[in-house]
């Protein structure tokens, strides 16, 4: 969802994101280099395809997952796993008041296979998510499971005002500060328990 759901100021937090939405990539947008790279890469892919002569065009579908969780195949961390590692390693004393829309890696794999094999997927941006979870709830679950193994995830909520102060010095805090305290969650318009193409 990095190419979809960031940089939208004054957006109603209960309005679902759809395949028509793009992350706002402007010089003043408070988005991380990772998010900026994702939106620019996807736009470049669609622009490249559009500029090809008709006889050279090919089918393209993109898969935009939210925070990906689940078993890793190797020890090298990915961006999604960094969030959970940050909690497990207690890299912050308390947890921001933000919601994390998550998706299981196995559902992301199914979405990629569907994007390649379902004819109706051609030309589509596939958003993949499940329900969101408060970051604090996720940290509390991690604490319940992993404290016995020597980990100590934070279980207190970080006040939003403190997060906003920290955002001046830390780009990761800035990304969270823009979402802190919002009642709603980022979600797709047609979230389904099973992966399929609309």
DSSP letters for 102-144: EEEHHHHHHHHHHHHH-GGGTT-EEEE---EEEHHHHHHHHHH
pLDDT of residue 143: 92
Token duo for residue 193 = 């328990």
The pLDDT profile of the chain, 198 residues, written as one tens digit per residue, is: 899 998 988 888 788 889 999 999 988 888 889 899 999 999 999 999 999 999 999 999 999 999 888 887 777 767 777 888 888 899 988 998 888 888 999 999 999 999 999 999 999 999 998 877 888 998 999 999 999 999 999 999 988 776 666 655 555 544 444 454 443 344 333 333 333 333
Residue 160: the pLDDT is 79
pLDDT at residue 43 in the model:
97
pLDDT at 171: 52
Active site residue 147: no
- pLDDT in the model for residue 170: 56
CA 82, 85, 89, 90 torsion: positive or negative?
Answer: positive
Name the pairing type of β-strands 62-65 and 125-128.
Answer: parallel
Question: Is 36 within 8 Å of 25 (Cβ atoms)?
Answer: yes
What CATH class is the domain 59-177?
alpha beta
Token digits of residue 174 = 């800035």
DSSP 171: H
The domain locations on the chain are 59-177
Q: Residue 186's pLDDT is what?
A: 40
Active-site choice (9, 28, 38, 186): 38
Please report which helix (H) or strand (E) contains residue 41, including its range: helix 33-51
DSSP element (H, E) containing 64: strand 62-65
Q: What pLDDT sits at residue 192?
A: 33
Closest CA to 13 of 132, 129, 136: 132
Quick one: pLDDT at residue 168?
56
């Amino acid at each position: 969802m990095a190419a979809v759901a960031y940089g939208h100021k004054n957006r109603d937090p209960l309005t679902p994101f759809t395949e028509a939405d793009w992350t706002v990539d402007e010089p003043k947008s408070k988005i991380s280099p990772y998010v900026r790279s994702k939106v620019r890469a996807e736009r470049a892919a669609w622009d490249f395809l559009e500029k090809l002569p008709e006889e050279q065009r090919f089918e393209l579908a993109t898969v935009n997952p939210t925070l990906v969780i689940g078993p890793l195949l190797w020890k090298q961390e990915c961006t999604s796993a960094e969030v959970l590692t940050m909690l497990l390693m207690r890299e912050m004393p308390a947890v921001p008041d933000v919601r994390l829309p998550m998706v299981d890696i196995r559902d992301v794999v199914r979405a990629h296979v569907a994007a390649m094999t379902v004819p109706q997927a051609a030309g589509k941006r596939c958003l993949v998510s499940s329900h969101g979870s408060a970051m604090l709830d996720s940290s509390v679950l991690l604490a319940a499971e992993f404290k016995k193994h020597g980990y100590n995830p934070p279980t207190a909520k970080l006040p939003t005002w403190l997060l906003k102060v920290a955002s001046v010095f830390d780009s990761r805090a800035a990304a969270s500060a823009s979402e802190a305290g919002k009642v709603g969650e980022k979600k797709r318009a047609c979230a389904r328990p099973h992966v399929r193409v609309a």
